[in-house]
Amino acid sequence: MNERIHHTMGQQSGRRSWAEPWKIKMVEPLRMTRRSDREGALAGAGWNTFLLRSDDVYIDLLTDSGTSAMSDRQWAGMMLGDEAYAGSRNFYRLEQAIQRWYGYEHVVPTHQGRGAEHLISQTAIRKGQYVPGNMYFTTTRLHQELAGGIFVDVIADEAHDPADRSPFKGDVDLAKLERLIVEHGATNIAYVSLAATVNMAGGQPVSMANVKALRELCSRNGIRLFLDATRLVENAFFIQEREPGYADRPIAEIAREFCGHTDGAWMSAKKDSLVNIGGWLAVRDRTLFEELRNLVVVYEGLHTYGGLAGRDMEAMAIGIEESMQDDHVRSRIGQVRYLGELLDDWGIPMVQPVGGHAIFLDARAFYPQLSQDQFPAQTLAAELYLDSGIRSMERGVVSAGRDPATGGHHYPRLELTRLTIPRRVYTQAHMDVVAESVKAVYDGRAAARGLKMSYEPRYLRFFQARFEPL
């Protein structure tokens, strides 16, 4: 065989190819657009990909949230919805699934992740308390701040460097956390807010060793440890792959062991759990649970539906089980990596190592000619859309928002554009198209001029802000 002919991606990487453990039963046609259509659509959307109509998008990599394909089992489950106002059978199925796969005893359903973040923040934070976390997430930090908390980033420094290839860039820097405890006293820390994986750092995992050490430090100081379990399954995959002693352990077991070190968790089930809508909050402490269960009826709905239809809870219960299967997770992350490897071969700057749910392009490295005030990552998202109709998301200075104390922009070190891969939705050929478009935009990078913000909403500005080209 001619050594230089490597046709499949597996061959190119010196291995046999991975593939999806499913086949396609139903398709959703996509509209192909011309560049002139896209120019009109982008101008109409104020150069913000959140404001585009989905009909104007070809490959939608805005988010992996609520965009996954449900299985035939989940769709069958949708027909088994018990839409009783109180005591729906599907709630008990969901409760059981969370107890079995995540191991928490007391469960409160919510309509999605931020509903759960709202409840835990209002219940567990006193005004003026600090809330250390492994990097901010937009909605998480906002709910902590709205409850009077002060977010402090205690993630390891490596997480802020896109080129650093450490295997567990989501780890908490325990020395940073200890300094915070010494400085302010344990009673002024509401809880530690631990996300696994860390979205804004590039989908980077937390090691089991780190959560164990964190548990020990928290217990010693009487501080609670709560987990954002939104992409915990993906985190468990990385532990299995990278941490000594876990190679032969199933992902489900690793995920459950991880939860075992925490006091409770909140969840956006729209990610790992393969549903279009849903979330939950679950804790071990009975008293805290009573408070959460009482508050949910004010903001979400009765404690046996939390803003969801019975059918949504059924689909979630089934999705949780499917999400924990090793073959599923391997192919999900395999697809993200496939795209990452193509881009890496072409020298495209991005966060390394490639994380669980997305490729994060390094917009600073794309556009060294732009300052952060010219919104490089927003510019890159716009250019990708113009080139091919691919929709991505800004994760830089626009997403970071303003400091509530000073009113000035937060200037995060990471200025990234996220290509987020929905689960079980796009094919390898779609990934090829994405890679080719990123390369075309990279080749044209010298011409980029940046954007200015022409409208800025008060909360979570990145969703609705408008821009104009400079």
Q: Identify the burial level of 112 via C-beta atoms within 10 angstroms of its C-beta, where 0-12 means exposed, 13-18 middle and 19 or more buried.
A: buried
Among 139, 221, 331, 464, binds ligand P61 (CB under 6 A): 139
Per-position x/- string for 150-189, each x denoting binding to ligand P61 as judged by CB under 6 A, each - no binding: ----------------------------------------
Q: How far is the CB of 268 from ligand P61 (least distance, A)?
A: 3
Q: Identify the burial level of 28 via C-beta atoms within 10 angstroms of its C-beta, where 0-12 means exposed, 13-18 middle and 19 or more buried.
A: exposed
Task: Tell me if 270 contacts ligand P61 by CB under 6 A.
Answer: yes
The count of chain residues that interact with ligand P61, using the rule CB under 6 A, is 18
From 114, 231, 271, 330, active-site residue: 271
Among 199, 240, 304, 392, binds ligand P61 (CB under 6 A): 199
Phi-psi region of 90 (alpha: psi -120 to 50; beta: other; left: phi over 0): alpha
Quick one: 63 or 262, whose CB is closer to ligand P61?
A: 63
**Beta sheet of 416-420, edge-to-edge order:** 358-362, 416-420, 393-395
Q: How far is the CB of 160 from ligand P61 (least distance, A)?
A: 17
Residue 304 annotated to the active site: no
Contact 395, 162 (CB under 8 A): no
* Rg value, the chain, Cα: 22
Task: Tell me if 48 contacts ligand P61 by CB under 6 A.
Answer: no
Q: How far is the CB of 345 from ligand P61 (least distance, A)?
A: 27
Per-position x/- string for 246-265, each x denoting binding to ligand P61 as judged by CB under 6 A, each - no binding: --------------------
Q: Single out the segment in contact with ligand P61 by CB under 6 A; choices: 108-116, 122-130, 251-259, 436-444.
A: 108-116
Task: Tell me if 430 contacts ligand P61 by CB under 6 A.
Answer: no
Residue 212 annotated to the active site: no
Closest CA to 269 of 233, 293, 302, 295: 233
Q: Single out the segment in contact with ligand P61 by CB under 6 A; choices: 71-79, 125-133, 137-145, 379-387.
A: 137-145
Contact 284, 263 (CB under 8 A): yes
> Between helices 428-443 and 326-345, what is the axis angle to 10°?
30
Neighbours of 381 (CB within 10 A): 31
Q: How far is the CB of 292 from ligand P61 (least distance, A)?
A: 16
Residue 58 annotated to the active site: no
CA-CA distance, 17 to 203, in Å (whole number)?
A: 23
Task: Tell me if 268 contacts ligand P61 by CB under 6 A.
Answer: yes
Task: Tell me if 114 contacts ligand P61 by CB under 6 A.
Answer: yes
Which residues, numbered 311-350, are part of the site for ligand P61 (CB under 6 A)?
Answer: none
Residue 137 annotated to the active site: yes
Task: Tell me if 392 contacts ligand P61 by CB under 6 A.
Answer: no
Task: Tell me if 362 contacts ligand P61 by CB under 6 A.
Answer: no
Task: Tell me if 134 contacts ligand P61 by CB under 6 A.
Answer: no
Q: How far is the CB of 184 from ligand P61 (least distance, A)?
A: 25
Contact 371, 449 (CB under 8 A): no
Strand ranges (DSSP E) for 357-447?
A: 358-362, 390-391, 393-395, 416-420
Q: Identify the burial level of 385 via C-beta atoms within 10 angstroms of its C-beta, where 0-12 means exposed, 13-18 middle and 19 or more buried.
A: buried
Residue 395 annotated to the active site: yes
User: Helix, strand, coil shares of the chain as percentages rounded to 5?
Assistant: 45, 15, 40
User: Which residues on adjacent β-strands are paired with residue 283?
Assistant: 106, 264
Instruction: Point out the residues that are catalytic.
Output: 85, 137-138, 228, 271, 395, 462
Q: Which residues bind ligand P61 (CB under 6 A)?
A: 63, 65, 112-114, 137-140, 195, 199, 228, 230, 268, 270, 279, 393, 399
